[in-house]
A and B are shown apart, each in its own frame.
Chain A
Amino acid sequence: MADTPRLAGYIARDAGQHPAALHPAYKTSVKRSPQAALLSFPSGPGEETGPVFGHDMLGPLDHDLIHNFAADGRSAIGPRIVVQGRVIDQSGRPVPGALLEVWQANAGGRYRHKKEGYLAPLDPDFGGCGRVITDAEGRYEFRTVQPGPYPWPNGVNDWRPAHIHFSVFGAGFAQRLITQMYFEGDPLIWRCPIVGAIADPEAVRRLIAPLDMDRSLPMDARAYSFDIVLRGRRQTLFENRMEGL
């Protein structure tokens, strides 16, 4: 076993920073939440490795939801925004080469999905999916229209805050994360049972992207900043410290 890498493993997930599996106010979680405790096991090669995504998978408009579904010469309707930020790990190191996939409703809160029946109309020039791969500093940026809130059949009168879904791949499969980004100042955030599954208000605040006027494009688009922190590695005991904190 001389060739076996001595991996330090990932820092254990802090359950207190994540939503509870069972949050009855979010009704679908009642029958979709495990009742037994998770089995803990130190991460190894299968968790420290993860799929590789090259920039060659990306089309020229994959990061531009305003145009990637629109007919030639047209663009999606809605408030134009740039969403940008960094993907870093818990040690603050950039995560380059991370694939971010995003999806969202259109400006009226309508998703382009065959199982969605909200009466707000589809935008013929908006699909709602996009993807980017982080650069060497872990930075990403995409352009889209700000999604609208939409009602959902949970409580009698529940509305999701405006949000963009993010799916993130780090370097290792144990870093795999899906989350949602919310917008600064939205009064629906603190009323939402999906947000409310996260008990710690400070953790919720880290999902709320502030308006970033310095990165806004005058006469074009406002900007929101959303940094994403993925799991970090435990401090290694080994002398070269290359993977340490």
Chain B
Amino acid sequence: MTLKETPSQTAGPYVHIGCTPNVTGITSVYRADPGATMKTGPVKGREITVTGAVHDGMGQVLRDAMVEIWQADGDGLFRSAQETRGDADPNFTGWGRSAGDMDTGEFRFETVMPGAVPTADGRMQAPHITFWIVARGINTGLQTRMYFPDEAAANDADPLLARIEHRARVATLIARRDGAEAYRFDIYLQGPDETVFLDI
């Protein structure tokens, strides 16, 4: 007998109290907010910056979202007890969390270019970063992926991108270049540019 999963509820407008308390001014409880730093020493691979914002169905930027990312290291390995393919970079956590700027809503991650990771049945996927977005008004956290504009051949062969029926929507998962080692990824919750969200 399989149990039912605990239902989700919105993270609400004050998610930052629990998840990034230092950002909200509660500075005496935790030394540092979890996920604030993804690099704990010299890392393997290309160091990159990822910025962006989350937009609602009226095109307005959310200033109360919390965004988390999860990704492989420069060699395509995850820093996780569940990783069975090898040892990931010990100086890279793979996980980042951003409350976004409280005034502009911009999130920012200092991370590394992820290596390619296979699917469970062994097909190669293009390099990507998993995003998870929660906020007031979002009842269940939304998962999506960011792919890279300079990996066109790998993106063309990516099994998940190939599953997107409406081909014009593939572009919603591809970041744009925003400088030498910087990428910008804007997420649209609703409307004509709506980002593809995943049930994975």
Interface flag for B180 (CB, 8 Å): no
Tell me the complex Cα distance, A222–B37, Å.
38
The answer to whether A101 and B19 touch across the interface, beta carbons within 8 angstroms, is yes
* Chain A residues whose C-beta falls within 8 Å of the C-beta of B86 in the assembled complex: 3
Q: Is B40 an interface residue (CB 8 A)?
A: no
Of A91, A174, A230, most buried by chain B (CB within 10 Å of CB) is: A174
B132: which of A6, A103, A173 is its contact (CB, 8 Å)?
A173
A112 and B137 CA atoms in complex are apart in Å by 20
A175, closest chain B residue (CB): B5
Q: Tell me the residues in window 35-59 of chain B with beta carbons closer than 8 Å to chain A beta carbons.
A: 35, 56-58
- Among the stretches B105-113, B139-147, B149-157, the one at the interface with A is B139-147
Docked pose: A127 CA to B17 CA in angstroms: 8
A77 at the interface (CB under 8 A from B): no
Complex contacts, B102 vs chain A, CB 8 Å? 114-115
- Classify chain A: how many residues form its interface, as a range: 35 or more
Residues of B in contact, count (CB < 8 Å): 85
Give CA–CA (A97, B82) in the complex, Å.
Answer: 12
Most chain A CB inside 10 Å of its own CB: which residue of B14, B84, B132, B141: B14
User: Are B9 and A178 in contact, with the CB atoms below 8 A?
Assistant: yes
Contact indicator A51/B70 (Cβ below 8 Å): yes
Contact B81 A115 (CB under 8 A): no
Give a binary string over A116-156; 1 marks a CB under 8 Å from any B CB, 0 the rest: 10000000000111110000000000000000000000000
**A111 pairs with B14, CB closer than 8 A:** yes
Q: What's the dominant secondary structure at chain B's contact region?
A: loop
Bound-state Cα–Cα, A18 to B8, Å: 6
Interface residues as binary, A24-58 with B (CB distance below 8 Å gives 1, 0 otherwise):
00101111111110111111111111111100010
A232 touching B80 by the CB < 8 A rule? no
**Minimum CB–CB distance for A43 against chain B, Å:** 5
Q: Decide yes or no whether B135 CB sits under 8 A from chain A.
A: yes
- Per the bound structure, the CA–CA distance linking A42 and B122 in Å amounts to 12
Q: Which residues of B contact A52 (CB under 8 A)?
A: 79-81
CB distance from A34 to the nearest CB of B (A): 5
Q: Most chain-A Cβ atoms within 10 A of its Cβ — which of B17, B84, B118, B130?
A: B17
Whole-angstrom CA separation of A129 from B20 in the bound complex: 9
Interface presence of B10 (CB below 8 A):
yes
| CA–CA, A130 and B17, complex, Å | 9
Contact of B29 among A20, A41, A62, A229 (CB under 8 A): A62
B134 within 8 A of A: yes
Contacts A11-B2, A26-B137, A127-B28 given; indicate if A43 touches B200 (C-beta within 8 A): yes
Task: Please determine whether B137 and A179 come into contact, CB atoms closer than 8 angstroms.
Answer: no
**B57 contacts across to A, CB distance below 8 A:** 30-33
B2 touches A28 (CB 8 A): no
A112 to B29, CA, bound (A): 13
Bound Cα distance A101, B58 (Å)? 32
- Whether the Cβ atoms of B6 and A230 lie closer than 8 Å is yes
Residues of B close to A116: CB separation below 8 A: 13-14
Q: How far is the CB of B127 from chain A (nearest CB, A)?
A: 11
Within 8 Å of chain B (Cβ to Cβ): is A188?
A: no
Check if B5 sits within 8 Å of A230, measured CB to CB.
yes
The verdict on A91 contacting B11 (CB below 8 Å), with A31-B56, A69-B28, A112-B26 known, is no
Of A4, A91, A178, which one neighbours B85 at CB under 8 angstroms?
A: A4
Known: A46-B70, A177-B6, A207-B7. 4 other contacts (CB 8 A): A5-B120, A19-B7, A36-B169, A114-B102
Could you name 12 residue pairs across A and B whose Cβ atoms are closer than 8 Å? A4-B118, A19-B140, A32-B136, A32-B190, A34-B194, A34-B197, A38-B199, A42-B119, A51-B94, A61-B29, A172-B80, A194-B139
Q: 6 nearest interchain CB pairs?
A: A103-B18, A28-B137, A32-B137, A49-B80, A51-B95, A19-B139
